[in-house]
Structure 1
Amino acid sequence: MAGNSNLHMSRNDKADEFYTQLSLIESELKHYRQHFRGKTVLCNCDDPYESNFFKYFAMNFNALGLKKLITTCYAISPVTGKEFQYYMDNGGQLSFVPSASSAPVQEENERKPYKVEITEVTDENGDGRIDLSDVEYLMRNKKNTMTLLEGDGDFRSPECVELLKEADIVVTNPPFSLFRDYVALLMQYNKQFAIIGNQNAITYREIFPLIKSNKIWLGYNNGHYWFMVPDSYEEKKTDFKIDESGQKWRRMGNICWFTNLDIEKRHENMTLFRTYSPDIYPKYDNYDAIEVSKTADIPCDYDGYMGVPITFMQYYNPEQFEIAGLDDHRVEWVGHGPRLNGKVKYRRVIIRRKQVNTNEN
């Protein structure tokens, strides 16, 4: 319930400022490394020098074999320019403020969105590795550029859409309140992606048909995760903390990754060990399907339709199961949902096994 309340809160938060920890990015993207070689990656909801998405790809630019990294930020982001300071030099170009520099920096009300394009990362400080201590040197390389955006940096703006067209793969944590719009744009331009969202997005009318038709699926990691939030964020009684540096953190529930990049997990069969019994698996009042209240309880010997929780999607293998629909996406269930003994059950995905695996019995 805490996770759901957090989601509702984020929908009402116009800033949608939840910054992803580097550990969450690393634990997911380690499964996608083969997809990045020779590709242009876009992080279009990330202040380039504040975002851990930028940090991940900058530090792993050579290891992943990237062709190019593009990152952009949004004008109203409360952290824009907070960690990385920049100024307009005499030539009209954006420049970073080196450590211990007396160069003028931008005032908070003068901060503007910008983009960073990286095509080469070298070990400038000679320590034998590529890490964040090399970041200040990146922009001294003439092959890398940092420029102001003409608009506000919204991912839907014409200039950001042009960057989207250039990209091969998009990786970011888009605003939860704009998740539908964000995914629609990715699909419109036929882009590959790995993005963070809330598990409840599975049930969106705009998203579920894409999942049903195997155009989108879930990644590896899901659960409750901590996100950095700006100083202006209202303190909460639960799932909230302030660390020793004064940074505010908010834990969000039911977080998962959505992707259309092929991963091994998607081809792994669930091990089914329950056997069907009409006493254990009753049929719904209003549809010819049995109720399976827990994903782990899917029977190995039932060939008809089954209603399972949306958590099933974490384990969905299209070679093992077919998805028939989602309760209120079936015409006869609009506004009602599956009923069992007169009571409406929470959201259910209707599935059926494609094959009988004798090894599961």
Structure 2
Amino acid sequence: MARNVQHSLLKEAKANKKDEFYTQLSDIEVELKHYSKHFNNKVVYCNCDDFKVSNFFRYFFENFKALGLKRLIVACYKDQTNNLFASETESRKPYFIEYCGEINGEGVSDMEQIKVEYFKGDGDFRSQESINLLMKSDIVVTNPPFSLFREFIAQLIKFKKKFLVIGNINAITYKEIFKLIKNNKAWMGINMGRGISGFIVPKHYRLYGTETKVDEDGNRIVSPNNCLWLTNMDTSKRHEDICLTKSYYGNESYFPFYDNYNGINVNKTKDIPYDFEGHIGVPITFLHKFNPDQFEIIKFRKGDNGKDLSIDGKCPYFRILVRNKKVRKTKIVHSL
């Protein structure tokens, strides 16, 4: 059964600048297993995380040796006044930790022995103190504030950092993010939508909709079903060709041309014709299966007149215009 998508919950959070959606360990494990080769001898920075709460910290702490990490840095904000183990009014000073896998010369698994250092400022990822930590790191992995997603990614690109972060799926429609995808500087990760099972939220968040629950540990879970992983770390899955089985020729009526652009419309990625050489408009979910070796991204959403792509005066939901680099010609059989 498909999820009942609760977009309003994330919209409310964004409007109120409440970004306390804590990623579940199971979702981190399912995604991170595809990137293990990237972490050997690297410094990982989780710059939006309280190590006492964050499952990102827990994952890297518990897998520090297996991944071959050099160092783990974790930092939190001053304005995160509510956490999963705090009262509604409890506040804290912003702090960070740097973990190198050993304390007093021995491998230690007890988090209580980790030294906590306090920021002089608010610990915001945009602060100079946080940037100084960023410059010491190689890879950033976290769940950044959705309301500041553009700014967050721009900073990572500016400092040329590798990253794997969670965002709302609509982030790929932001012109700044789409430009990165088009220029092969960022792409979607392995899991999205239903592949991200849900987020832990604090007690002051309302739970409503068919995809909410309280788990066996008392965690309050919401599953908006509209999130993705965004990264610039390569995986083998990214280079798998989409299996194309539809032919354009002989089925032209199924692939109408746009009113304002010389290209055909396709409603589902699986229906992309294998034998069409021109431009093809595909849904934004195409990016989850996008292989840069197979397709070229041309542009997003707009026709030649600067207006949204339309068919018979009607505009389908956002389309990405692409070109198939591996067109297969249709075999024409002549009857005798």
- TM-score by structure 2 length? 0.89
Is the aligned partner of 1:301 residue 2:267? no
Structure 2 counterpart of 1:257: 229
Counterparts of 1:295 and 1:240, CA distance in 2: 30
Point out where structure 1 has 5 or more consecutive residues left out of the alignment. 84-105, 140-144
Structure 1 counterpart of 2:247: 275
Counterparts of 1:125 and 1:164, CA distance in 2: 27
The one-letter amino acid paired with 2:305 is E
| 3, 8, 16: which one aligns with 1:5 | 8
Counterparts of 2:13 and 2:294, CA distance in 1: 35
Structure 1 counterpart of 2:110: 135
Structure 2 counterpart of 1:339: 310
Is the aligned partner of 1:64 residue 2:67? yes
The one-letter amino acid paired with 2:9 is N
Structure 1 counterpart of 2:94: 113
Structure 2 counterpart of 1:102: none
Measured after TM superposition, the shift of residue 80 of structure 1 is 4.5
Change (3 A) 1:244 1:38: closer
Counterparts of residues 69-88 of structure 1 (less than 5 Å): 69-80=72-83, 82=85
Measured after TM superposition, the shift of residue 244 of structure 1 is 4.8
Measured after TM superposition, the shift of residue 146 of structure 1 is 1.5
Q: 2:241 is paired with a residue of what secondary structure?
A: coil
What is the percent sequence identity of the aligned residues?
A: 47
Structure 2 counterpart of 1:315: 289
Is the aligned partner of 1:165 residue 2:135? yes
Measured after TM superposition, the shift of residue 158 of structure 1 is 0.9
Counterparts of residues 31-50 of structure 1 (less than 5 Å): 31-50=34-53
Q: Is the 8 A contact 2:198 2:225 kept in 1?
A: no
Of 53-62 and 243-252, more deviation after overlay is shown by 243-252
Structure 2 counterpart of 1:96: none
Counterparts of 2:275 and 2:171, CA distance in 1: 30
| Post-superposition CA distance 1:227-262 (Å, at most 9, x none) | 000111123244333345543221122211100011
What is the alpha-carbon root mean square deviation over aligned residues?
2.5
Q: Is the 8 A contact 1:61 1:121 kept in 2?
A: no
Counterparts of 1:321 and 1:231, CA distance in 2: 45
- TM-score by structure 1 length? 0.83
Measured after TM superposition, the shift of residue 3 of structure 1 is 4.3
Is the aligned partner of 1:234 residue 2:206? yes
Counterparts of 1:23 and 1:254, CA distance in 2: 17
